[in-house]
Amino acid sequence: MTIDNSAAFWLRYHRACAFKQDNGARKICCMSAALNGTASSCCSASCAFQPLATPCDDGDACTDSDTCDSAGSCIAGSTLACDDLEICTDDSCNPASGCVFVNNSNACDDDDACTTSDACSGGSCQGGSPLVCDDLEICTDDSCNPSSGCVFTNNSNTCDDGNICTAPDVCSAGSCVSGPPVPCDSDLDGIYDSTDNCTNHANASQNDTDCDGFGNRCDADFNNDGMVDIADLDPFNLAIGGNDPLYDLEEPPNGIVNAVDLVIFQQLFGLPPGPSNALECTTDVPALNPWPQIALIASMIAAGVGLAWRFRQESG
């Protein structure tokens, strides 16, 4: 028997197949013989519909688990999960090729607590600038632990408690602890604090005109009521330009009450006299000039009285 293998024969065959009936239901689905039986077709090699749920390929790389329906069509399955679990890539899907992972420059965390401003680069997280671990405390050693961040460890360094009357000061429990007392001169006037009649104001002369234990430099409490106030301003105003040693607050005393004394009075206003550690009154004062220079008096009266008046007005 001669077999007809011509193109015309196969064309007639497929046309016939397309309309063949099996128990009243369409069975034949031949459309392209080249695709029948392949993954992209829901037709078998014999032109029959593939069974329901037969795996197939719908031609979209962004779907997964495609299956045949009962009518010869390939139905898209679930959406392809394009997630590389990497914060430094933007994930998407191209129907022709599938998942696409594009590097970005997002902020990220490199899991190192000792870096800041981490950012994505080249598809991975890169550490930023080092974390500054400095608590500005001399009594701690500062470091950084990549797992937890800054670490401040107490030390026993020598330190300075700000009081020149103690030494040596040493760090303990993270703070500076004062050492034992030592002879000191807080105001650097050459007089130890233990006997200084103005411990916070340099007054090498130790001038104390009213002999109340407070040197003139820190004592504008002329009426000795325990406070420099408005009651002390009136007699001070009258003394400007004169040479009454009680009101000569300047150090060393120069024998005249002038604008410098007024500035000192303003600094002491509202404060108690002192502080003082004087053990005895010092009455020795420099000799006073009984004839102040006329020009100086005139200038002080013009400047000092004016300032005193303004100060009085502002004070109440």
Q: By the 8 A CB rule, do 285 and 245 touch?
A: yes
Q: Are 250 and 303 in contact (CB under 8 A)?
A: no
Instruction: Read off the tokens for 216.
Output: 């003139």
Write down the architecture of domain 216-315 according to CATH: Orthogonal Bundle (1.10)
pLDDT digits (tens, 9 = 90+) for 118-152: 999 999 999 999 999 999 999 999 999 999 999 99
Predicted local confidence at residue 228, as pLDDT:
97
d(CA 258, CA 255) in angstroms, rounded, equals 10
DSSP string across 57-124: --S-TTEES-EE-TTS-EEP-EEP----S-TTEEEEEETTTEEEEEE---B---S-TTEES-EEETTE
User: Mean pLDDT, to the nearest integer, of 42-50?
Assistant: 79
Task: Look at residue 234 and tell me whether its pLDDT is greater than 50.
Answer: yes
- Between residues 258 and 194, which one has the greater pLDDT? 258
CA–CA dist 258, 241 (Å, integer) = 6
pTM for the model stands at: 0.47
Q: Which of 85, 58, 54, 52 is nearest to 71 (CA)?
A: 52
Name the E strands within the chain: 21-22, 25-26, 63-64, 67-68, 74-75, 78-79, 89-94, 98-103, 115-116, 119-121, 124-126, 129-130, 140-145, 149-154, 158-159, 169-172, 175-177
Instruction: Select from 120, 62, 69, 65 the least CA-distant residue to 94.
Output: 62
Q: Is 129 helix (H, G, I), strand (E, B) or coil?
A: strand
Q: Given a cut of 90, is residue 23 above it in pLDDT?
A: no
Token digits of residue 234: 């009136």
Residue ranges covered by each domain of the chain? 17-80, 82-131, 140-177, 216-315
CA-wise closest residue to 245 among 276, 208, 296, 202: 208
pLDDT digits (tens, 9 = 90+) for 150-164: 999 999 999 999 988
Cβ contact 162:180 at 8 Å: no
